[in-house]
Amino acid sequence: MPYRFLEEIAIADVAFEAEGRTLAEVFEAAALALTEAMVDLDGLSPTLPRLISLRAEDLETLLFRWLAELIYLKDAACLLFRRFAITIREGTECELEATAWGDQINYETMSLKVDVKAVTYHLFSLTKTPHGWRAQVILDI
């Protein structure tokens, strides 16, 4: 699994570490961890596509905005996502272009877990490793 939950770091919140060989992979792993914190992935069909475009001054801020956007779409459009096609470009600004596939929240058929309110900056990091990239994230629930 490209992510793992860190129960020893956050007691009242949800913490996870995500890894990937590329930036796109670590962004996808972080998005999947976020989604799994909220719903059983087996009950979430990736049927509705959503295009997402974001910009930020650096990669860490781009990851933060990516996760915040997925939480916003959960709250504003009642959408949860489980499949992603992500492209990241670095230049004077960092850009993310993604298609996320998911479904409307269905309280009767989905096994919902916690309601994530926000991504926090507490211990938030995105670092280059010898094997790719690693992100650490704490979610406010």
20: which residues sit within 8 A by CB, 6+ positions away? Answer: 2, 26, 27, 28, 29, 132, 133
16: amino acid identity, one letter:
F
Q: What are phi and psi of 10, to 5 degrees?
A: -130, 125
In the chain, % of residues over pLDDT 90: 90
Residue range 112-118: average pLDDT?
Answer: 95
| CA–CA dist 28, 67 (Å, integer) | 10
* In the chain, where the domains are located: 3-140
Is the model's pLDDT at 6 over the cut of 80?
Answer: no
Q: Which fold has domain 3-140?
A: Archease, Possible Chaperone; Chain: A; domain 1 (3.55.10)
Residue in the block written with tokens 């996502």 = 81
CB atoms within 10 A of CB 22: 12
